[in-house]
Amino acid sequence: MSSMLSLQTRLFTIASIVVILSWAIGGGVSATAGWATAVICLALLLVHQLWHASKLSKLLLSPSYGEVPGALGIWGEIYYRLHKLVRSWRDQVLEVEQQHQRFIQAIQASPNGVVMLNEDDQMEWCNAIAGAHFGLNPRRDAMQRITHILRKPAFVQYIVRQNYRDPIRLTNMGNFEEYTLDVQIFPYGDKQKLILSQDVSQIEKTDAMRRDFVANVSHELKTPLTVLAGFLETVQELDLNAEDRQRYLEMMNIQTGRMKTLVDDLLTLAKLEGNPEPPISQKIPMNMLFARLKLDAEGLSQGQHEISFECLSEQSVLGDEAEIYSAFSNLVSNAIRYTPAGGRVMAKWQALDEGVAEFSVEDTGPGIAEEHIPRLTERFYRVDRSRSRDTGGTGLGMAIVKHVISRHQGELKIQSKVGVGSRFSLVFGKQRLAH
Ligand SMILES: Nc1ncnc2c1ncn2[C@@H]1O[C@H](COP(=O)(O)OP(=O)(O)OP(=O)(O)O)[C@@H](O)[C@H]1O
Ligand SMILES: [Mg+2]
């Protein structure tokens, strides 16, 4: 207001000076000439003011930022002040825009899906993760009612029921990848809603694995326990002669042995998972290890197989001897147990190219069909359950092998052909080898 007043005052002052000067100049000649000069000067001043007023009006209608029109006196000041005002507004708008962008980037970086709904449950915005989780397209689906684009009955019921205290779990979500999601709605503002989604596919998988594991362990223990209970009942209730009694006791012994093996294997796995990586300071002499493995193999085979053990490399493995022995011995015992009598089993320790070395066990057994091979290292996975159980297997051996080799930064390779035989090998890298 004060600047407006000063503007008017200044205009009035300029006009007065012009009139007085014109009158003074004109007055020297005649009074009429004085008045005429004053009128002409005032008219010129008015034209000047009108010209700038129209220029200002045009400028306000279509402002071109950054340009300050040049003008003398009061109009120059007006343009300059306007320019300053616009610049400060523009800076403010830019700052708000940047803040908005940062906010959007932060939500985009979130590992959770975010969908914003207006008061009519229409989608206003969603981040890329929500797009992937729900199969939404932020542009195509903008302002669509959410229940039209996300039609899962469980979700529709959740949104209709309006009880958003707990999240809901939605399975088989996503277009390109399959997700299991925990989804929760959070009302905010004026009847708006925020939908948050969290990918729990991995948690769900781990839960399923844990459930399977417990079921498998219980099942594996249940069978020998049931058999054992039956034998016990027989021994208690029947009046058996010494020979029968001995036979039953031996059968009971086999069942307890099976349970003990299972528990031992489970403990080995638990230890492998919980222990720190094996040291690289311990050198495992392969000659001695091979001698031990060979003795075990011969004991297991009872002369039914042609067995050969060749230690062709001087290199030693650096790591945990007990772990390495248990992995090698499982591969050897598998080869013997699954290869019918008369077959061949060949174990080898040899150097390969590029400084790596390999322990391999080859057999002329039944071989394994391709579809089973990737699953062999799963706990309790057996190609032929009844056969494996007959040979005393718990289905944990290959899981132990896989753990041991990955703890030694090595690689397990399996090649097999049904009806021809199998080749299992463990490859160790330079960092785990020494001469
Ligand atoms: N050399 C092999 N020839 C044919 N099948 C094999 C061979 N080695 C493993 N398998 C198959 O792979 C399955 C998994 O082997 P794994 O060593 O994990 O378990 P297992 O031998 O049954 O029991 P465990 O080793 O715990 O006593 C076996 O049950 C068997 O069906
Ligand atoms: Mg085994």
Domain final position from 61, 87, 103: 103
CA of 57 to the centre of ligand 1 (A): 90
In a domain, 408, yes or no: yes
Q: Residue 26: its pLDDT value, please?
A: 61
Query: Which ligand 1 atom is at minimum distance from the Cα of 399?
Result: 18
Residue with CA nearest ligand 1 atom 28: 382
Cβ 148 vs Cβ 131: under 8 Å: no
| Ligand 1 contacts CB of residue 338 (under 6 A) | yes
Residue 328 lies in a domain: yes
83 lies in the same domain as 11: yes
CA 362 to chain centroid, in Å, comes to 39
Q: Which atom of ligand 1 is nearest to the CA of 335?
A: 1
pLDDT of amino acid 74: 81
228 is a domain residue: yes
At 401, which CATH number? 3.30.565.10
Same domain as 310, residue 241: no
Rounded distance from Cα 308 to ligand 2 centre (Å)? 19
Quick one: 190 and 297 in the same domain? no
Q: What is the CATH number of the domain that holds 228?
A: 1.10.287.130
The rounded Å distance from CA 367 to ligand 2 centre is 14
Q: Clarify whether residues 98 and 134 are in a common domain.
A: no
Report whether residue 335 contacts ligand 1, using a CB cutoff of 6 Å. Answer: yes
Residue nearest to atom 29 of ligand 1 (CA): 382
- Position 331 scores a pLDDT of 96
Co-location of 227 and 365 in the same domain = no
306-311, strands of its sheet edge to edge: 306-311, 344-351, 357-363, 421-428, 411-417
CA of 377 to the centre of ligand 2 (A): 10
Looking at the CA of 402, name the nearest ligand.
1
pLDDT at 34: 76
For a substitution probing ligand 1, which of 334, 338, 413, 417 has the most ligand atoms within 8 Å of its CB?
334
Å from CA of 265 to ligand 1 middle: 14
Name the burial class of residue 351, with classes exposed (0-12), middle (13-18) and buried (19+) by CB atoms within 10 angstroms of its CB: middle
315 and 373 in a single domain? The answer is yes
412 forms beta bridges with 426
Q: Are 251 and 180 in a shared domain? A: no
Q: What per-residue confidence (pLDDT) applies to 1?
A: 43
Residue 192 domain-assigned (yes or no): yes
| 400 Cβ inside 6 Å of ligand 1 | no
412 CB near ligand 1 (under 6 Å): no
SS3 track for the chain = CHHHHHHHHHHHHHHHHHHHHHHHHHHCCCHHHHHHHHHHHHHHHHHHHHHHHHHHHHHHHCCCCCCCCCCCHHHHHHHHHHHHHHHHHHHHHHHHHHHHHHHHHHHHHCCCEEEEECCCCEEEEECHHHHHHHCCCCCCCCCCEHHHHCCCHHHHHHHHHCCCCCCEEEEEECCCCCEEEEEEEEEECCCEEEEEEEECHHHHHHHHHHHHHHHHHHHHHHHHHHHHHHHHHHHHHCCCCHHHHHHHHHHHHHHHHHHHHHHHHHHHHHHHHHCCCCCCCCEECHHHHHHHHHHHHHHHHCCCCEEEEEECCCCEEECCHHHHHHHHHHHHHHHHHHCCCCCEEEEEEEECHHHCEEEEEEECCCCCCHHHHHHCCCCCCCCCHHHHHHCCCCCCHHHHHHHHHHHCCCEEEEEEECCCEEEEEEEECHHHEEC
**For the chain, how many structural domains are there in total?**
4
What is the 331 CA–ligand 1 centroid distance (Å)? 8
The predicted pLDDT at position 7 comes to 59
pTM, 2 dp: 0.64
Q: Are residues 392 and 374 in the same domain?
A: yes
With the most atoms of ligand 1 within 8 angstroms of its CB, the residue from 338, 361, 390 to mutate is 338
204 located within any domain: no
Residue ranges making up the domain that contains 6? 2-103
Q: How far is CA 259 from CA 256, 262, 364, in A?
A: 5, 5, 30
Q: Which of 229, 248, 273 is the last residue of a domain?
A: 273
**Domain match, 22 and 135 both:** no
Write down the pLDDT at residue 4.
Answer: 47
Per the domain annotation, does 266 fall within a domain? yes
- For residue 180 the two structure tokens come to 């299991």
Domain boundary among 78, 103, 128: 103
119 within a domain of the structure (yes/no): yes
Looking at the structure, tell me whether residues 154 and 222 fall in a common domain: no
User: What CATH number did the domain enclosing 168 receive?
Assistant: 3.30.450.20
The reply to whether 236 and 183 lie within a common domain is no
101, 108 in Cβ contact below 8 A?
Answer: no
Ligand 1 center from residue 366 Cα (angstroms): 12
Cβ within 8 Å of residue 198, ≥6 positions away: 111, 112, 113, 167, 181, 182, 183
Q: Does residue 117 share a domain with residue 88? A: no
> Mean pLDDT per segment of 10 residues, for the chain of length 435 residues?
55 73 66 80 87 86 73 82 87 94 91 94 93 90 92 92 92 88 93 94 88 85 87 86 88 88 88 84 90 92 93 92 92 94 95 91 94 90 70 82 93 94 95 89
Q: Is residue 179 part of a domain?
A: yes
> Separation of 294 CA from ligand 1 center, angstroms?
19
